[in-house]
Chains A and B, each alone.
Chain A
Amino acid sequence: MLENQTAAEGARLLSRKGALIQLLGLLQSATRFGRQKPLGAVGGIIVLILLVLSVSAPVISPHDYRSPNADLVHEPPSSTFLLGTDHLGRDVLSRIIKGGQISLYVGLSSVLIGITGAFIIAVTSTYFGGIVDLALQRLVDSLMALPGLIIALAIIAVLGSSLNNVIVAIVIGMFAPVVRTVRSQVLSIKESDYVLAARAVGASSGRIVFLHIAPNCFAIYLILATFYLGAAIIIEASLSFLGVGSPPHIPSWGGMLSRAAEERLQTAPWVAVFPGLAIFIVVLGFNLLGDALRDVFDPKLRGR
């Protein structure tokens, strides 16, 4: 009985020690990544800050992002309002923090739905070829020839302007270019010697697609995902700038940059300058991280 207890105690200690070692290992590989890819590390830190700010938005916001104050319209940045107030007297900093949450939501959902969907369709259709692939290619060609922003405007005109409809428009817009890019990658992998060898030893189609072709597309998935995370944030901002994106009461970064803020750029520059800066920094962060991850994950570039 006593022996059992000490054994359990020992196991608990050991597992705690194991967790600690694991944590140290993770930290170590993070520092190694930081030393080898300083730009990627900067990007990673920016993304991490965005994540932390978004999760803790209600706690760390200095003011309520919704409450207007008629006495404090267009206050310049001060110690109370670090980034000033907007045309309704709302705190710009709190609205930017809330806006980060929204940008992250728009970016992550459109990338998860859009890239993953387009990826699966592209890989299977390209591998199997035939009439389906031919039809998909024509559809992709047609969609790619349509100016994305006009189509997005039309889609939102059909569905009505809401955050989720913006995501639908972004997903539809990213479908064709993603399929196109993945297709060209699969085409070259399909002709490679190791796929030929796998086919020669009698591997099934499913095995070739999932074990040989898909893993070699992983790097391109990462690049596309990070690129479109940034792109989604910018498209949302463009739509909101044109006044058709997210509804006015939602403090998305693009909405804060809208025409109204632009017109007051001379008298109250902080209202339009800081949200734009936020978009710029975050999108730059995603792109820096994506570039570094690509170098690390692409087997062709490993061990140089």
Chain B
Amino acid sequence: MRAYAAKRVLLFFPTMILTTVIVFGLFWVVPGDVAMLILVGAEGEDTASLDDVAELRHELGLDRPIHVQYSSWLWDVLRGDLGTSLWYRAPVTAELRDRFMVTVELSVLAILMAFAVGVPLGIISAVKQDTRTDYASRVFALMGVALPNFWLGVLIVSGLAAFAGWLPPLGYAALWEDPLLNLQQLMFPALVLSFSNLGLTARITRSSMLEVLREDYVRTARAKGLSEFVVLVRHTLKNALLPVVTITGYQFAGLLGGVIIIESIFVVPGVGSWTIQSIQHRDFVVLQGVIVLGAAVILTLNLIIDLLYGVLDPRIRYQ
């Protein structure tokens, strides 16, 4: 186990480096000159001479060779400095810190809700396979997968506005400042996000439960007269939850993409709504910061899940 863990931790670093290279390279090939965009404006209303553009490019450090730009950027990132926003001319790290907490809270809320509903749904489906209960719970779970979440979000916002006179509260309050207002703001977006994730959780739980229920050791457990509850929880669920936990880790990665749209629909001041603005401004310093921070969080989460996997499934660690 120690060798497996050491190997897994060692592999974390090349992956992280590779990720930063991909992120940096991606924004290097994206067309759209930031200097030009700042001077001319998005609609091209102002006029600027080519000299001005060249001067600004020099000031922003955009005229240096790519590997110099990359290494100086990486060095800053390692020291916790994600650079200065090209559009707002403000440090990215400070702004990102506040917004990231909002998005993390939203994601955790969504994952917890998905897990709390999805896992029991999957278990019921597997145990009552091919009955009406199974069909009902599967259709419910799949509805979440099939509903485009931005559409559901839009319908909820306009439905609440039309019938209940509710609008997303504009002033955001942190959880520890005003828990009620905070929950009021995050409840509906978390609900929408969890509904699209719950389907996957339930589906994986069901198929994994079904597979384990057909294993010999489950038959043995039943044959020796253990109660159905013990068979289900200790022999089946314990083994069947492994793939579900793996999926939950990756759902965080999916959520980081999903919040982009949902946050802007529900006016949540998280990373997502900032990302949309930054894409419109082609502010790639902000985008790089968002993606690198997100990637670091997800990679760490995956490392933890892989280590857990090794603890729980001995077959993995002896390879």
Q: Which residues of A contact B (CB under 8 A)?
A: 36, 38-39, 137-139, 141-151, 153-154, 157-158, 177, 180, 184, 187-188, 191, 227, 230, 234, 237-238, 241-242, 254, 257, 262, 265-266, 272-273, 276, 279-281, 283-284, 287-288, 291, 294, 300-301, 304
In the docked arrangement, what's the CA distance between A272 and B22, Å? 37
B158 touches A266 (CB 8 A): yes
In the docked arrangement, what's the CA distance between A288 and B26, Å? 37
Interface secondary structure of A, over-half rule: helix
Q: Which residues of B contact A157 (CB under 8 A)?
A: 30-32, 279
In the docked arrangement, what's the CA distance between A81 and B250, Å? 44
B302 touches A230 (CB 8 A): no
A158 touches B31 (CB 8 A): yes
CB distance from B265 to the nearest CB of A (A): 9
Segment at the interface with A among B46-54, B89-97, B217-225, B288-296: B288-296
B15 touches A138 (CB 8 A): yes
Q: Which residues of A contact B276 (CB under 8 A)?
A: 242
Among B29, B243, B253, residue most surrounded by chain A Cβ atoms (within 10 Å): B253
Of all chain B residues, which has the CB nearest A242?
Answer: B261
B135 touches A238 (CB 8 A): no
Q: Which residues of A contact B145 (CB under 8 A)?
A: 227, 230, 283-284, 287
Given A148-B257, A266-B162, does the pair A141, B302 have CB atoms closer than 8 Å? yes
B26 touches A38 (CB 8 A): no
A177 touches B299 (CB 8 A): no
Q: Which residues of B contact A38 (CB under 8 A)?
A: 135
Q: Which residues of A contact B143 (CB under 8 A)?
A: 280, 284
A238 touches B148 (CB 8 A): yes
Within 8 A of A (CB), among B18-68: 18-19, 22-23, 26-27, 29-32
In the docked arrangement, what's the CA distance between A266 and B298, Å? 39
CB distance from A209 to the nearest CB of B (A): 18
Given A238-B261, A294-B207, does the pair A147, B253 have CB atoms closer than 8 Å? yes
When the two chains form the complex, which single residue of B23, B30, B146, B319 contacts A146, counting CB atoms closer than 8 Å? B23
Of all chain A residues, which has the CB nearest B21?
Answer: A142
Of all chain B residues, which has the CB nearest A143?
Answer: B22
In the docked arrangement, what's the CA distance between A112 and B214, Å? 32
When the two chains form the complex, which single residue of B146, B162, B211, B299 contacts A283, counting CB atoms closer than 8 Å? B146
Q: Which residues of A contact B15 (CB under 8 A)?
A: 138, 141-142, 145
CB distance from A30 to the nearest CB of B (A): 18
B287 touches A150 (CB 8 A): yes
CB distance from A252 to the nearest CB of B (A): 12
In the docked arrangement, what's the CA distance between A284 and B18, Å? 37
B147 at the interface (CB under 8 A from A): yes
| Given contact pairs A265-B158, A300-B214, a sample of 14 additional A-B residue pairs in the complex whose CB atoms are under 8 Å apart | A142-B15, A142-B19, A144-B302, A145-B19, A145-B253, A146-B294, A149-B257, A157-B31, A184-B246, A238-B261, A279-B146, A280-B148, A280-B151, A291-B138
B139 at the interface (CB under 8 A from A): yes
Q: Which residues of B contact A265 (CB under 8 A)?
A: 154-155, 158
A142 touches B32 (CB 8 A): no
Q: Which residues of A contact B315 (CB under 8 A)?
A: 188, 191
Of all chain B residues, which has the CB nearest A282?
Answer: B146
Of all chain A residues, which has the CB nearest B300?
Answer: A145
B14 at the interface (CB under 8 A from A): yes
| Contact flags B167-204 to A (C-beta < 8 A → 1, else 0) | 00000000000000000000000000000000100010
A279 touches B256 (CB 8 A): no
